[in-house]
Amino acid sequence: MKRPYSPWSLLVIAVLVVGVAAGWVTAAQAQTDFPAGRPPVFTATPEPTRVSLSAIRLSGAGAPATAWTVMQWQDGLGGWHDVEGWRGEFDPDGFKTWRFPEQHFGTGPFRWQVFDRRDGALWGVSQPFRLPDGRDQMLDLTITPP
């Protein structure tokens, strides 16, 4: 008994049906994306929230090339304590700069210590100071050896 269709002819018919169906879907999408005569509507992207920062900057003029800086805060009894995370070598530009957010504006007192190297001898100490009390302010400090 002879079959009405060969496997190859069934495959060709299936490919044609899928191709036609895909064309209809694409044509339908093209008609609904942008109606004729009406430009697309764009929604404005909100501006990113600006973080309020200020900074303190210590000049390392005259400090050893291996100098290590440590920021300290003073408690109510006059004791000085290291500020975790605010320590390190001078930056390549010869300064050590720390930026801080609004919740720290106007706080203090603080002081900067400079050692001749990490875990080395004390080289200099800044005068006590308070952090700037507003946005986009820079407090510059200089330490000279004792």
Here the tokens at position 25 are 């879907």
- Taking only Cα atoms into account, the Rg of the chain, rounded to an integer number of angstroms, comes to 34
CATH T-level assignment (fold) for domain 53-142 = Immunoglobulin-like (2.60.40)
pTM above 0.85, yes or no: no
Supply the pLDDT for residue 41: 62
Supply the pLDDT for residue 105: 93
Q: Which amino acid is at 111?
A: R
Predicted confidence pLDDT, tens digits, the chain (146 residues): 555 656 656 555 665 556 655 555 455 555 555 556 666 566 666 665 666 789 999 998 889 999 999 999 999 999 999 999 999 999 988 999 999 999 999 999 999 999 999 999 999 999 999 999 999 999 999 987 76
Supply the pLDDT for residue 146: 66
Q: Where in the chain is the domain with CATH 2.60.40?
A: 53-142
